A and B are shown apart, each in its own frame.
Chain A
Amino acid sequence: MAKVSVWSSNRFWRRSATWVTGVSAVLLILLTFDSMAQMQMGTAKDIKNKVDKRIPSPVVINYKIEYKMSRKRGHEVPIIGGMSPDGKSLYQVKEKFFGRDDYTEAEARALIHKGKLTIQAKNCMDCHTLLGNGAYYAPDLTKAWLDPTWETLAPAYGGKEYAIATFLQNPPAMAMHERKMPNLGITKDEAKAVVAYLKFMSAIDTNGFPRNFGKIKGAVDAWK
């Protein structure tokens, strides 16, 4: 055969495949560097200086956390320690967590470290979703700290952190639904750490997920 068309040249396609793969991989790596920088966990200093972080410092457990619509960004965002008139976190309004609102950075970090380990050790992700990933057998935990369910239970337990911690230590005793959470042998310390993690996780900026959190409207039984 005289001249081989480039379109049927093995070499051309091998090289194209290599280049496409290489360029995609390099782009992904560059984007990952940028994302990792933006996703680094904040510090107590950031909070003091009122610097918003996608993943804030664990000392957010000392503050009141809300989830509000941001006109500027077009979706809900976490608001930490009160909201300024222009819709930003003030990092001022505190909220007691197990009777304290002065956890140091080291204390708060130790708490969420234990909390995250417990969350993994108990296979939470194989019933629940966290940040929307996991199994679909039990409710999403992304903003569980802010869920209205706990607001209604809080008074009876002297605060919602106590309610959640009590629940975690023996879930069948406080079952909310016929699909019960099993008793996973979570200790008192582990329960406190998990609650700290849930509070910390609710302050992560998830670009508006879950949407319209807490909105209840329409005829809710229409589908029954």
Chain B
Amino acid sequence: MHGNRLYEGQKLALKYFFVAMVLFGAQLLFGLLAAIQFLYPDFLFGVLDFSINRIVHINALVVWLLYAMIGAVYWLLPDEAGREVVGIKLGNLAFYVLTAAVAVVVLVYLFVQVGPGKESTIWFITEGREYIEAPRWADIGIVAVVLIFLYNVYATTMSGRRTGILSVLMADLIALAGLYLAGMFYTDNIAVDQYWWWWVIHLWVEATWEVYVAAVGGYILIKTLNANRKVVEMWLWIEVAMMFGSGILGLGHHYFWIGTPEYWWEIGALFSALEPVPLVGLFVHVLYDWGKHSGQGHKIINVPAFAWLTVETFGNFLGAGVWGFMHTLPQINLYTHGTQWAAAHGHLAFFGAYVTILIGAIYLAIQGKAGLKELKMTKAGWWAIVLITAGMLFMTVALTASAYVQTMVERGMYGATWQGYFAAQANRWFLEGMGWRLAMGVVVIAGYVLLIYDMLTCTKKQPAEAYEGEVAAAAA
């Protein structure tokens, strides 16, 4: 980075990051409304029902993560390739088209909500499939926009420096985009429907997104610690082997109970045991790097980005590792499938694996935009990281308590009837867990407010020597 002179691609990245953070706020807000409804079911009943709040909550999550992912790629692409993004005009156009489409989809979710049981509803209002409710017209628009994005990544890399990080990203992004097609058809057969639905959901969050994060994490390590590029890039390939090796067939653990053949039990059990492999690998790697660096007195160039990357390591291990393994074997999953266990696991895993690292990438861009030589952590930045991380961790613990009660009462005692379901939901300890979850949601939102404040102001609160780079650039 040379002072304030950013590549056009990086300016585009900042736009993506901006929308991502707005959607992050929407995600938290609608999550809060849904959490309130668990305790006070009459809250907004008939106006914004639980289903609508939840759609916005989970769709905003997926979309903001994708926005931040695209943003991070646009940020590192010109820097890595050593040249401007090729189709930048097209890229800018795609950004506005996508943002307009997202806005329309959300407005339709909020104000139209449901449609008649006809194909037209699937095309224009909602597809009604968790996480990918976006109507078909928006699916096609998303594919068009993603094609433009892929073109930019490929064309820029091919005509510039083709680094290892970019090679991994090129392969990964095409798989990530291609998988979306698996969720774009209608069938009356709900078992087949969910089979392919999991291709999108699982192969995104437990395979292609993981690899994406490994590649961007490598870039952050190079930028924040001056890590040796050759080491980072070689390790990246090892991680790709571990993640795809355990993640692709790990799909089996979603195929226990949806009308699929029994052999998925064996496959699911085996790959569930393998899924901690990349996590252990990552853990040893991070400790190793930290140990080597602490001996050499290296300076951390961007403290906030590095701090969020550290939270990522532990969050991923807890959310995906511990909370995943607790209910993944078929013998126990028979009792936990379709309960709050999935909610507990999902909250910490999405946060630990993705939210953290993408916030780190945004801090990297904040430093680059201001042209600072280094970025220190401000007080607000520390409070944001502490509140959000602690809030998410305890929210997961609270959901786990509720999940345990639900498994015991609904599944263990009653055998999954409606009467059992409602008995579990009314249980004092279940409600206690839901109450703490709501309280923790408020803590996370407080952290979010501080995070936004810090992102907007942290560059103005840096010690004087950090500005040297900027002054030099201005003088030049």
Q: A137 to B406, alpha carbons, bound, how many Å?
A: 12
Known contacts being A131-B258, A216-B420, is A117 close to B117, with CB within 8 Å?
yes
Question: Judging by beta carbons under 8 Å apart, are A211 and B258 in contact?
Answer: no
Question: Judging by beta carbons under 8 Å apart, are B259 and A114 in contact?
Answer: no
B248 contacts the other chain (Cβ, under 8 Å)? yes
CB distance from B7 to the nearest CB of A (A): 27
B99 contacts the other chain (Cβ, under 8 Å)? no
Partner of A17, one of B241, B340, B414: B241
Q: Which residues of chain A are near B127, meaning CB under 8 Å?
A: 120
B445 contacts the other chain (Cβ, under 8 Å)? no
Question: Judging by beta carbons under 8 Å apart, are B340 and A122 in contact?
Answer: no
Query: In the complex, what residue of chain B is closest to A215 when comparing beta carbons?
Result: B415
Question: Judging by beta carbons under 8 Å apart, are B237 and A17 in contact?
Answer: yes
Question: Judging by beta carbons under 8 Å apart, are A123 and B428 in contact?
Answer: no
Question: Judging by beta carbons under 8 Å apart, are A16 and B408 in contact?
Answer: no
Question: Judging by beta carbons under 8 Å apart, are A177 and B422 in contact?
Answer: yes
Q: A177 to B405, alpha carbons, bound, how many Å?
A: 19
Query: Within residues 260 to 289 of chain B, which ones have a CB less than 8 A from any CB in chain A?
Result: 260-265, 267
Question: Judging by beta carbons under 8 Å apart, are A126 and B54 in contact?
Answer: yes
Question: Judging by beta carbons under 8 Å apart, are B334 and A211 in contact?
Answer: yes
Question: Judging by beta carbons under 8 Å apart, are B190 and A131 in contact?
Answer: yes
Query: Within residues 172 to 202 of chain B, which ones have a CB less than 8 A from any CB in chain A?
Result: 186, 188-192, 194-195, 197
A51 contacts the other chain (Cβ, under 8 Å)? no
Query: In the complex, what residue of chain A is closest to B40 when comparing beta carbons?
Result: A178
CB distance from B346 to the nearest CB of A (A): 11
A21 contacts the other chain (Cβ, under 8 Å)? yes
Q: Which residues of chain B are near A104, meaning CB under 8 Å?
A: none
Question: Judging by beta carbons under 8 Å apart, are B260 and A35 in contact?
Answer: yes
Partner-binding segment picked from A36-44, A82-90, A154-162: A36-44
Q: How would residues 26 to 61 of chain A score, 1 for a CB under 8 Å from any chain B CB and 0 otherwise? A: 011001101110111100000000000011000000
Interface residues on A, range: 35 or more
Question: Judging by beta carbons under 8 Å apart, are B41 and A126 in contact?
Answer: no
Question: Judging by beta carbons under 8 Å apart, are A121 and B51 in contact?
Answer: no
Known contacts being A126-B51, A211-B335, A216-B419, is A17 close to B238, with CB within 8 Å?
yes
Determine which residue in B46, B195, B337, B425 has the highest number of CB atoms from chain A within 10 A of its CB, and name it: B337
Q: Which residues of chain B are near A216, meaning CB under 8 Å?
A: 413-415, 417, 419-420
Partner of B233, one of A10, A116, A218, A224: A10
The count of A-to-B residue pairs whose CB atoms sit within 8 angstroms is: 263
Q: How would residues 112 to 131 of chain A score, 1 for a CB under 8 Å from any chain B CB and 0 otherwise? A: 11111111111111110111
- Count B-side interface residues using an 8 Å CB cutoff: 91
Q: Which residues of chain B are near A96, meaning CB under 8 Å?
A: none
B114 contacts the other chain (Cβ, under 8 Å)? yes
B126 contacts the other chain (Cβ, under 8 Å)? yes
Query: Within residues 231 to 266 of chain B, which ones have a CB less than 8 A from any CB in chain A?
Result: 233-234, 237-238, 240-241, 244-245, 248-249, 251, 255-265
Known contacts being A210-B416, A213-B417, A215-B414, is A13 close to B234, with CB within 8 Å?
yes
Q: Which residues of chain B are near A112, meaning CB under 8 Å?
A: 188
Question: Judging by beta carbons under 8 Å apart, are A120 and B126 in contact?
Answer: yes
Q: Which residues of chain A are near B427, meaning CB under 8 Å?
A: 223-224
B423 contacts the other chain (Cβ, under 8 Å)? yes
B339 contacts the other chain (Cβ, under 8 Å)? yes
Q: Which residues of chain A are near B260, meaning CB under 8 Å?
A: 35, 38-39, 54, 207
Question: Judging by beta carbons under 8 Å apart, are A204 and B190 in contact?
Answer: yes
B314 contacts the other chain (Cβ, under 8 Å)? no
Q: Which residues of chain B are near A144, meaning CB under 8 Å?
A: 418
Known contacts being A193-B117, A206-B258, is A183 close to B46, with CB within 8 Å?
yes
Partner-binding segment picked from B16-24, B70-78, B128-136, B137-145: B128-136
Q: A122 to B126, alpha carbons, bound, how many Å?
A: 8
Q: A85 to B342, alpha carbons, bound, how many Å?
A: 39
B361 contacts the other chain (Cβ, under 8 Å)? no
Question: Judging by beta carbons under 8 Å apart, are A131 and B194 in contact?
Answer: yes
Q: A223 to B338, alpha carbons, bound, how many Å?
A: 21
Q: A149 to B126, alpha carbons, bound, how many Å?
A: 30
Query: In the complex, what residue of chain A is closest to B197 when comparing beta carbons?
Result: A133
Question: Judging by beta carbons under 8 Å apart, are B417 and A133 in contact?
Answer: no
Q: How would residues 177 to 202 of chain A score, 1 for a CB under 8 Å from any chain B CB and 0 otherwise? A: 11110111111001001100000010
Q: A194 to B186, alpha carbons, bound, how many Å?
A: 17
B45 contacts the other chain (Cβ, under 8 Å)? yes
B122 contacts the other chain (Cβ, under 8 Å)? yes
Query: In the complex, what residue of chain A is closest to B125 when comparing beta carbons?
Result: A121
Q: A9 to B162, alpha carbons, bound, how many Å?
A: 18
Question: Judging by beta carbons under 8 Å apart, are A55 and B418 in contact?
Answer: no
Q: How would residues 325 to 342 of chain B score, 1 for a CB under 8 Å from any chain A CB and 0 otherwise? A: 000000000110111101
Partner of A187, one of B116, B190, B256: B116
Question: Judging by beta carbons under 8 Å apart, are A213 and B415 in contact?
Answer: yes
Q: A127 to B447, alpha carbons, bound, how many Å?
A: 28
Question: Judging by beta carbons under 8 Å apart, are A27 and B249 in contact?
Answer: yes
Q: A20 to B262, alpha carbons, bound, how many Å?
A: 25
Question: Judging by beta carbons under 8 Å apart, are B340 and A223 in contact?
Answer: no
CB distance from A72 to the nearest CB of B (A): 12
Determine which residue in A34, A193, A208 has the highest number of CB atoms from chain B within 10 A of its CB, and name it: A208
Question: Judging by beta carbons under 8 Å apart, are A190 and B257 in contact?
Answer: no
Partner of B428, one of A28, A139, A224: A224
Q: A27 to B255, alpha carbons, bound, how many Å?
A: 15
By Cβ-Cβ distance, the 7 closest A-B pairs, closest first, are A118-B117, A120-B128, A210-B416, A132-B338, A209-B257, A215-B415, A212-B415
Q: List 29 A-B contacts (CB under 8 A).
A: A13-B238, A17-B238, A21-B244, A24-B245, A32-B195, A35-B260, A38-B261, A55-B259, A109-B188, A113-B188, A121-B114, A123-B55, A123-B114, A125-B128, A125-B129, A133-B194, A136-B338, A136-B339, A147-B418, A148-B418, A149-B417, A180-B45, A193-B117, A206-B258, A206-B259, A212-B411, A213-B417, A216-B415, A216-B417
Given contacts A135-B130, A190-B117, A223-B428, 19 further A-B contacts (CB under 8 A): A17-B237, A20-B245, A21-B240, A28-B248, A41-B188, A55-B192, A117-B118, A120-B122, A120-B129, A123-B128, A125-B130, A126-B54, A135-B50, A137-B37, A137-B50, A194-B117, A208-B257, A212-B416, A216-B417
Q: Which residues of A contact B (CB under 8 A)?
A: 8, 10, 13-14, 16-17, 20-21, 24-25, 27-28, 31-32, 34-36, 38-41, 54-55, 109, 112-127, 129-137, 139-140, 143-144, 147-149, 176-180, 182-187, 190, 193-194, 201, 204-218, 220, 223-224
